[in-house]
Structure 1
Amino acid sequence: MKNNFFLLTGVLILFSNCAVIRPGEAGVKQTLGKFSDKVITQGTVVYNPFISKVLKESTQTNNINLVMSLPSKEGLSVDAEISILYRLEQNKIPSVLRNLGQDYEDIITSVFRSASSDVCAKFFAKDMHSGMRADIEREIKLKMDENLEKQADGIELISVLMKRIRLPLGLSNSIEQRLQAEQDAMRMEFVIQQAKLEAERKIIDAEGERDAQIILATGLTPDIIKIKSIDAFNKLSISPNSKIIITDGKTPMLINANE
């Protein structure tokens, strides 16, 4: 029984001295407060729990979500939901822990607040809700990279995303009214263009009909009229229907054809 007790105690002590590094993680051993430069990847690490410990950090892409008010060039406050995507460079994790500690996300958040205030103050509020949003995100990221390099080397910023922007109510209504006015103007321009095209079509039709009448009148000589009259009488004569043909008694001509 005594041997079993010591065996069990030894096993428990052995397992308490082990740390498991899983995929997507990296470990750094800290001995008497000093961080090792060696980064431990996947596997099991044995350490002395009385003087050492193993700090495990994620090497995957991490996301910091923030909801805050951003200043604009005209002095307005714009509510925004922000995502900061970052990851730790595996070989530089000891540097990050030495300079920033395990609360490095707080440092990233503080750097973002400073950078976003500086950058957004150069843009109008409407710019944050337009195609210039990507330019604002890019400038904030560049500003953050510059500030983080002064703090510690090893944090890789992937992107800064302004996911949701809520403009002040008065400005939002003004933008909607302007967009509605632009749509109304475009619609009116389309209606006017259609009316012009319809008017041009009617003029072309009228000119064509006029030209046709002129051509027809020019070509109707007395001889042509006689030939047309004879053709008409011939067609009437072979028609099976009963009919009455009235002439002047001289030639098969229409009455008053000479006039």
Structure 2
Amino acid sequence: MPHPLGIELLTVLGMGPVDHVALAADLGCTAVSMGLTQLPFNPHGYPSWSLRDDAGLRRELKAALRDRNVAISIGEGLGVSSEIDASERAADMDIFADLGALRINSVDMGMERERALDQLARLAEMANEREMEFTVEFCPAFTIGSLGEALDAVRHIGEDKAAVLIDSMHFFRSGGTVREIAELDPALIGHVQLCDAPRKGKGDYLQEAMKGRTIPGEGELPLREFVDALPRGKTLGLEVPLMSQSESGRPAAEYVAEIVIKTRELLA
């Protein structure tokens, strides 16, 4: 398969970072997305953790990444909002850089467009100063809601300083087509997140993005064609938070393995 797989933060639902890396490696995946603190979604009841506050945990994580040959594909949790200025993210950026993160990903949280663009540009500058790439993620529920709007943001920032993150659910739900991916400059695709979903949504979009995603091949999105249109070798981060299965007590290693196996079957 020409695309290596990664395990995204939302897929493991609160698991500690060292265990997250170990699980990804055990399943033959080469990347993880990583936040600095535990998600509020923790149905398995994992012990709380914070990479901000625990220097020992940071050392353990760096060793695990090195020893298991896994990369942090994106540093998450640095969205822009009206409550915090981008300049206040410097310490978090330093932690991600020290951990060897390849890039920082950011989303707007529905704030006013001009301020969102300026804040994203500042975050991109800070990431680039630390030799990390920067991606802008779009979501139909946010100010930057489509691939076209994300590309406008990248042009505002500078195409040499930023790229887009394409989440398959957000992409197709915002009206995207496989042809758009095939015609897009490969250099503008910084990271890809893969899941399946119904083609049309019902109710609250953000709730569905947490609870309505399905394993690739089990929904209605044209994922095989989507992946075939991507640049060869692009890592696919599996973002499939199977809330119902995790809440039922099914071990994370079991349901994440199912996601990986079925994705490989779809793309074989």
Larger helix share, 1 or 2: 1
TM-score relative to the length of structure 2: 0.17
TM-score, structure 1 as length reference:
0.18
More strand by share: 1
Structure with max Cα Rg? 1
